[in-house]
Amino acid sequence: MTKSPECSKIRCIFGVHIIERTESKSMAEKNTVEVVIDGKIYQLSGNATEGYMHEVASYLNQKVLDFKKMVANYNKLDDNLKALLLEINICDDLFREQDKTRKFEREKDEAERECYSLKHDLVNYQMKLENNIKELADTQKRLAELEAKLAARDARDNALTGDDKVTSITTGARKKN
């Protein structure tokens, strides 16, 4: 098996049970764990966390268990064939996850575009609302001015008509008593 960037020493291919952990002395040093994969002890070393390396080994163990259930006489197969089956299935898992990731990225991009469009619409509606509020205020002001003029005209008309209207004029001198 080839070396991965996360593990500098891999003496394993399959499954994991924790046997021993060796603690790293500093962040720059590599973590090392021993695991059991398909009944064999292997040592994994790498820059990845011990927890991550255990997850990887557990994933491999689960794959081996799945093969043992699905493939008749799995234990009698040549080790190279077992490794090839495992590699092909891991590639399949990877490709399926990549497809899911691309799908989620497309959905995220679409959601972001829709969000941008909705924000744009919101800004437009806010601008229209502000214009309508200003227009309403101007209209109310104009209405108040017209009502004031009408009230003044009504007051002037009432001054000329009704009780205040001069109905007769008396001429002549007043009698003195």
> What is residue 169's predicted lDDT score, i.e. its pLDDT?
62
Tell me the per-residue pLDDT of 119-160, one tens digit each, with 9 for 90 and over: 999 999 999 999 999 999 999 999 999 999 999 998 888 888
By the 8 A CB rule, do 78 and 31 touch? no
Look at residue 72 and tell me whether its pLDDT is greater than 90: no
Look at residue 104 and tell me whether its pLDDT is greater than 60: yes
> What is residue 75's predicted lDDT score, i.e. its pLDDT?
86
Lowest mean pLDDT among 1-15, 32-46, 75-89, 128-142: 1-15
DSSP structure class, residue 76: G
Q: For residue 45, report the phi and psi dihedrals to the nearest 5 degrees.
A: -130, 140
Tell me the per-residue pLDDT of 6-28, one tens digit each, with 9 for 90 and over: 333 443 333 443 343 444 445 55
With vertex at residue 87, the alpha carbon angle to CA 9 and CA 49, rounded to the nearest 5 degrees, is 40
Taking the model in full, what pTM does it have? 0.54
User: Got the DSSP string for 111-160?
Assistant: HHHHHHHHHHHHHHHHHHHHHHHHHHHHHHHHHHHHHHHHHHHHHHHHHH
CA distance 77 to 71: 10
CA distance 165 to 84: 116
Distance of CA 150 to the CA centre of its chain: 59
